[in-house]
Structure 1
């Protein structure tokens, strides 16, 4: 479910860029607000599909004043491989020990939430649209979306109830526009 915060400070933490450089979370929102998107495991069909949806809407999100940063559970090589395989133009960062996931309190799920029969139909549709990878990482980890302004405040978030849940792009745009309204060109 999405949440509008009365602005809460973004947790600190360090990620690894696809090129192996260490990057603090604070560096991600230093110049522009950032949509910090946490992915599930590397093979999650829903996460692959969502990453492609973010790519499809990336230029529009930038017009609305947002940067996008995707966080995965791997290290630099996995971040680079994920970015290359999906042809993503926004950065992918690794958090191999899930330290930043825990700092942001990204939810974990149970078997019903990550693989229950109620998800199978949506999983087949995502698989047909985007394919899947090899499951690597914490299979019970859910995703999460956090909009952080340039003051380091989380002003909006989306915490999923299951592995199929991701925020609608329109919700992200509305949240971004509360920071600085920019007309979609």
Structure 2
């Protein structure tokens, strides 16, 4: 699990696209309070949807500590909206089809070996009984890695996590600890 930085670094103040196609500056979000921004892999990734569910379940804890949560996908707005509705996501979801926000935050593409190895496939299959059925959309880039960042009110990245291997994400406690 790749989690950095030890020293806070400035977050890029990029534009996020809402599901209604309007845009919002990321900086306007973190100025309202610390922000956890979750970068999903493709929407068919069962591991990523399971982590999204963990964030949804932990959302009340995050709210109690003043941590805002948002998720971003590189899927189209209709698919992203469908996931938001079916997964009952209470926080905002944004989309970034060109993956410019992913690149700005260092969420890079892995190799096919990173995402299609036996360990990952076994973990994806273990999630089927829990309702997380893996799939691959026609336009999905399965090599795109996910991750998460925690940004404080000053716009400094307090946690940068690249999900490599793709099944490892921080715990609720680790996200909250990044607040200091």
Task: Give the TM-score, by structure 1 length.
Answer: 0.89
Shift of 1:135: 2.3
Q: Which residue of 2 aligns with 1:183?
A: none
Q: Which residue of 2 aligns with 1:118?
A: 119
Q: Which residue of 2 aligns with 1:172?
A: 175
Q: List, as ranges, runs of 4+ consecutive aligned residues in structure 1 with deviation greater than 4 Å.
A: none
Kindly report which structure 2 residues correspond to 1:56-67, keeping only aligned pairs within 5 A, or say none.
Answer: 56-67=57-68
Kindly report which structure 2 residues correspond to 1:32-181, keeping only aligned pairs within 5 A, or say none.
Answer: 32-132=33-133, 134-136=135-137, 137-176=140-179, 178=180
Q: For residues 129 and 16 of structure 2, what CA distance do their matches in structure 1 show?
A: 31
User: What secondary structure is seen at the aligned counterpart in 1 of 2:128?
Assistant: helix
Question: Which ranges of structure 2 fall in alignment gaps of 5 or more residues?
Answer: none
Q: Check the 8 A contact 1:113/1:162 in 2, yes or no.
A: yes
Q: For residues 72 and 127 of structure 1, what CA distance do their matches in structure 2 show?
A: 21
Shift of 1:113: 1.1
CA-to-aligned-CA distance 1:20-47 (integer Å, 9 cap, x gap): 2212221221211000110001111011
> What RMSD in Å do the two structures reach over aligned CA positions?
1.5
Q: Check the 8 A contact 1:16/1:23 in 2, yes or no.
A: yes
Shift of 1:133: 5.9
Question: Which ranges of structure 1 fall in alignment gaps of 5 or more residues?
Answer: 179-185
User: What secondary structure is seen at the aligned counterpart in 2 of 1:57?
Assistant: helix
